[in-house]
Amino acid sequence: MKLEAIEKSKEKQWIAEKYVNNVYETIKQRNLYENEFLQAVKEILDSLLPVLIKHPKYMENGILERITEPERLIIFRVPWVDDTGKVKVNRGFRVQFNSSIGPYKGGLRFHPTVNSSIIKFLGFEQIFKNALTGMPIGGGKGGSDFDPKGKSDGEIMRFCQSFMTELSQYIGPDIDVPAGDIGVGAREIGYLFGQYKRIRGGFPSGVLTGKGLGYGGSLARREATGYGTVYFVEEMLNNNGYTFNGSTVIVSGSGNVSIYAMEKAMQLGANVIACSDSDGYVYDPHGINLATVKRLKEVERKRIKEYIFDHPHAVYVEGCSKIWSIPCDIALPCATQNEINSESAKLLIDNGVKAIGEGANMPSTLEAVELFLNSDILFGPGKAVNAGGVAVSALEMSQNSMRLSWAFDEVDEKLKMIMKNIYQRSISCAEEYGHPGNLVVGANIAGFITVADAMLAHGVI
C-alpha cells in the first residue's frame, strides 16, 4: 500500500474509534450504574469498528446513538395478594427497544435480580439476535423482580394476572410479542395468555409465544433454544474438524435451555457429565441421567442437589461457579449472565476445552470473552448460539397467522437450517470485515447491518 493510502486508512480508523468512544461515553453518562446494559453495549460497539470504517453512512446518520436508546421503556407496579392474604408489590418492566424490522419480540424474565439494567441489556442483545435469525422481528424484553421460587400455583396465577393486566395495554400480535425466559415457562405463559384473552376478548393467539400445544403453541418450541444451541455448536465443530460424538460436555443450569441442550448433545453421542442450578452443581462421571433432571426440575420443581439421592456415585458441590473447574471438551453455559468470569475462563482453557457455546445470554464477562478469543478455542456468542428459541417463536407466530400447526420434525428441520445459516452468515461476515474466525465480530456485524439498513430506510425516527 502506498504511504498516502496507509495514512488515509489510519485516519478512517481514528475517526471511527473516536466516534465509538464518544457514543459510549454519552451512553455511560446517561445510564449510570446500569452495568449489564453498559457491558452489552460495549461489546457491540467495539465489534462494529470495521463496519463503520467501511461504511461511514452509519456514523453520519446517528445509527449508533439511536440503536442504543430504547424506543420505549415501560415500568409498572404489580400488586398481588399472597396465600396468607398479604398484599405484595413487585415491579414490572417491558423494553421496546427496536422495531425497525418487525414487531418487538423477546421473552419475560421473573427473577429477583431483574431491574432496568438487566432488561435493557437483554432487549439490546435481542435486536441483533432477532435480525440474525432472518425473521421479521424487532427487539424487546421484559419481566419482573418477582421470584417464582417457593410460590404456590395460586400465587403464580395471581401475580401473572396482575402483571398482564398492566402489560396488555402495550402488547399485541402486530406490536409486541413476549415469550418466556428465566422463571417464565409453560405454566406462566398459560396464565399470562389467559388474562390477556380475558381482557382483550376473542382468541388472540399471536400475542405470546411459548404457548401450550393445546392452544396455539408450536411443536419444538420447548426444545428450540437448547437444540438450537447444539445445532449451532455442531456446525462450528464440524467446520473445524470436531464433533459432539465422543466429546465430554458440561452444561450449566438445569432449566429449559440447559435440559434440551443436554438432550440434543446426548443424542449426538456426547457424554454430558455436569449441570447445575443457582445453589450448586452435580458431577456424574457416568453421564448425567436426564430423566432424573427432568423429573426434579420440570415436574417436581426441586433443587439439583437431590440428583444424588437417585445416583449416589455422583457428586454434589455447593456453589455453581466451580462447575467450570471440571475438565471438558465442550462447555455450554446455559444458566445466566456473567456466570463465566476470567478465572473460570482460564480454568477452562488450561483444562483443554475445545469449544464454548453460549446457550444463555451474555454468560461470559468481557474479560472472559477476550481470553477465549485470544486462545485457539472455538467461541460461539450467545446472540448467535441461542437464537433458536426466538426463531421458533417466530415460526409459532407464522403458524398462528396461518391457523395451522407443523409437525415436530418440520419445525426441527427449519430450526436446524436457521442455525446453520446463522453460523455461516456470522463466519462470512467475520471474514469480510477482517476478523476471520471471530464469531463475536461476525454475528454483531451481520445483525447490525440488517437493522441499521432498515433504520436508514425509515429516516430519522
Cell triple for 109: 424474565
What is the secondary structure of 326-384 as a DSSP string?
S--SEEE--S-TT-B-HHHHHHHHHTT--EEE--SSS-B-HHHHHHHHTTT-EEE-HHH
Interface segment toward ligand NDP; rule CB under 6 A; list 43-51, 335-343, 434-442, 445-453: 335-343
Of 52 and 189, CB closest to ligand NDP: 189
Task: Determine the residue with CB nearest ligand NDP.
Answer: 255
Of 142 and 389, CB closest to ligand NDP: 389
Does 181 interact with ligand NDP (rule: CB under 6 A)? yes
88 is catalytic: no
Query: According to CB under 6 A, which one of 139, 216, 357, 389 is a site residue for ligand NDP?
Result: 389
Of 192 and 334, CB closest to ligand NDP: 334
CB of 307 to ligand NDP, least distance (A): 12
Tell me how far apart the alpha carbons of residues 53 and 15 are, in angstroms, rounded to a whole number: 8
Given a contact cutoff of 8 angstroms between Cβ atoms, the answer to whether 456 and 57 are in contact is yes
Site for ligand NDP in 190-229 (CB under 6 A): 225
Does 332 interact with ligand NDP (rule: CB under 6 A)? no
DSSP-derived 3-state class of residue 128: helix
Does 277 interact with ligand NDP (rule: CB under 6 A)? yes
Query: According to CB under 6 A, which one of 20, 335, 415, 419 is a site residue for ligand NDP?
Result: 335
Site for ligand NDP in 82-141 (CB under 6 A): none
Tell me how far apart the alpha carbons of residues 380 and 352 are, in angstroms, rounded to a whole number: 17
Q: List Cβ neighbours of 382 (8 Å cut-off, separation of 6 or more).
A: 125, 129, 358, 359, 360, 361, 362, 363
Query: How many H helices and E strands in the chain?
Result: 18, 12
Interface segment toward ligand NDP; rule CB under 6 A; list 66-74, 76-84, 187-195, 272-280: 272-280
User: Exactly one of 129, 141, 264, 297 is catalytic; which is it?
Assistant: 141
Query: According to CB under 6 A, which one of 361, 365, 399, 438 is a site residue for ligand NDP?
Result: 361
CB of 146 to ligand NDP, least distance (A): 13
Q: Which long-range contacts (CB under 8 A, 24 or more apart) does 315-318 make?
A: 315/282, 315/283, 315/284, 316/280, 316/281, 316/282, 317/280, 317/281, 317/282, 317/283, 318/279, 318/280
Of 60 and 279, CB closest to ligand NDP: 279
Q: Packing angle between helix 35-47 and helix 3-30, nearest 10 degrees?
A: 170
The catalytic residues are 141
Q: Which stretches of the chain bind ligand NDP, using CB under 6 A?
A: 180-183, 225, 253-258, 277-279, 320, 334-336, 339, 359-361, 386, 389
